[in-house]
Every structure is written in C-alpha cells, then in structure tokens.
Structure 1
C-alpha cells in the first residue's frame, strides 16, 4: 500500500512537472518567436532606411555628375582664352558643385545589426563607403589646387583643373554604378521576401 501511494504521488509529481515544463517551453517558444519577429521587422526597416539613403545619394550624384561634366566642357571651351579659372568656374560654369553623400545608414547597420548581417550587402555598402571616401579625397585635392590658382589664366592650369575634375568624375561615375547595382539587388531582395 505504501508503494502504491508513493508511485501515485510520483506519477502525479511527474504529471505536474511535465505540464510545468511544457508551459515553460511554450512560453520560451512564443517569446523567441516574438523576439525573432521584432528582429526581422527591425532588420527590414533598417534596410529600407539604407535603401532610401542610397536612393537620395544616387539622385543627388546624378545631378552633380551632369553639372561637373558641363563645367569640364566649359573649362575646355575657354582654355585658350585669357580668362581666369575662377571666372570660368563662377561666371561661365555656374560654380563647382560637390556631392553631399550620406552614409549614416551603413554606420547604424554595422553597429546595431551584428546578429542579422547580410555579409554580401555589408560588403557592397563598405565598397560604397570606400568610394565615397575616395571622392572626398579627390575633391579635397581639387580644391587644394583650385584655391591658389583661381586667378590664374594659363592654359596649363586650366588643363590641370580639367584633369583633377575628370579624375573626380571617374570615381563619381563608379559610385553611381555601385548605387545602381545596390538598388537593383535591393529591389530583387525585397520582392523575394514579400
């Protein structure tokens, strides 16, 4: 009789333990599911933010490339004339335009998305970031040359400005292509996930 009571108590104990364990496991499953869902939503919204930033940069860059190309043509047109580089750029060429490229989405993504990083996308974004830094360096080099030569009217100085600008344009065109590839792939990825 004692053994049957002990077995009955043990059986009840294991029943309750099983119910409690199942309840805890279900609660953990639900909690994990909610956490993963929030992480997916956060990841998608981060990618949309990056996509908008890239789209804005792309639109601005297209305009800048067009204006800088016109300025190169203008400088070439007036390279034989006795007009200063500054007058060509300001009066004839409507000024020198620089692209203001934002890369804050990438920085945020790198710092906050360590668990859900798409390494292929990260690689593309880092490549874009390196081209942006190269463009900044080339623009700085152009400006370092321009400031002391704004009042110079020699053909050689104008050709050097054109060389600096073509060098800058080359990187900007490369960045434009990278933006186009990124946006095209982003659209494919969004369509695949929906």
Structure 2
C-alpha cells in the first residue's frame, strides 16, 4: 500500500509540475504577444498623433490668416463674410486621428500605462469638442455668408479663436504623450 501511495504521489507531482510548466510557458507566450501588440499599437498611435500635430500646426497658420483678414476688412461694409473666406481659401479644421487609440480602448486597454490612457482619453474628448465647435461655426457661416457687418465679423473671429484654443489644447496633449513615448 505504501508503494501505491508513493507511486500515486509521484504521478501527481509529475502531473502538477507538467501543468505548472505548461502554464508558465503559456503566460510567457501571452506576455510576449501582449508586448508585441503594445509596441505596434504605440507606434501606430504615435504616427497618428504626429500627423495630427502637423495638421494642427498647418491649420492654425491658416486660421490666423483668416483672423488677420477679418481684422483688416472688419470695417468694410462692402466685404461680406463670403468674400473674406474666399480670400483665405475657406476654413480648415484639422483631422484628429485616433483610430489606433479606439482599437486598443475597445480591446486591451489594461495593457497601457494609466498616464497614456488618460491623455488619449483627453485627446478624444477634445476631438469631440472641436467637432462640436466646428459644426457650430458652420451653422453660423452658412446663413451669414452675405453679412457685411462688423458684429458678424467679430463673432466669426471669436469662434475661430475658440477653435484655435481647442486645437492648441490638443497639441499640448499630443506633445506630452509623444515626449513620454520617446523616453
């Protein structure tokens, strides 16, 4: 009976050791896959944010040109909002790219560091705010394209300045996260 117990314990220990080794290998493999996934998604997020930052910089320059043009023509009652917008080639709003962020936020968000998650969530909120402000701007411009009054020109200027402030906030968030990723 003693031999049977020893044999049984020996078999159980062998099975348990085998299971533990299999679990360790599985965990190691999953961690390796997760690290590879995070590396790819982080690279993709950084590329999108870099493109977004460049787009913001270019659009702010155009928007400042619109503000200067509005200031220059604000007292000209023969120059409409449409004429001013035509002089600066219209209004441009940057494209805030966060597709990679949305992919990870819907699947393996727990693999990312809290600071990056928080910053990306803030960028997403700012993106929605920018979208809302842009829509309000369009809702203002379309019925007022033929307006020539100083009050409409000033209101358009204020709306563009508000949009620029939101873009600068997004740019600041992007600079913070891309600087952290470089370290």
Q: When the two structures are superposed, what TM-score results if normalisation uses the length of structure 1?
A: 0.87
The equivalent position to 2:146 in structure 1, one of 127, 146, 151, is 151
CA distance in 1, matches of 2:13, 2:169: 62
| Bigger Rg, which one | 1
CA distance in 2, matches of 1:170, 1:45: 31
For structure 1, the residue ranges without an aligned partner over 5 or more in a row are 1-5, 189-194
Measure how far apart 1:13 and its partner are.
3.1
Q: Please name the residue that 1:83 is paired with.
A: 79
Q: When the two structures are superposed, what TM-score results if normalisation uses the length of structure 2?
A: 0.92
Does residue 35 in structure 1 map to residue 37 in structure 2? no
Q: Please name the residue that 1:3 is paired with.
A: none
Moved more, 53-62 or 94-103: 94-103
CA distance in 1, matches of 2:177, 2:12: 53
For structure 2, the residue ranges without an aligned partner over 5 or more in a row are none
Q: Please name the residue that 2:170 is paired with.
A: 175
Aligned length: 182
Q: Please name the residue that 1:141 is paired with.
A: 136
Q: Please name the residue that 1:128 is paired with.
A: 123
Does residue 61 in structure 1 map to residue 56 in structure 2? yes
Measure how far apart 1:139 and its partner are.
1.1
CA distance in 2, matches of 1:133, 1:51: 20
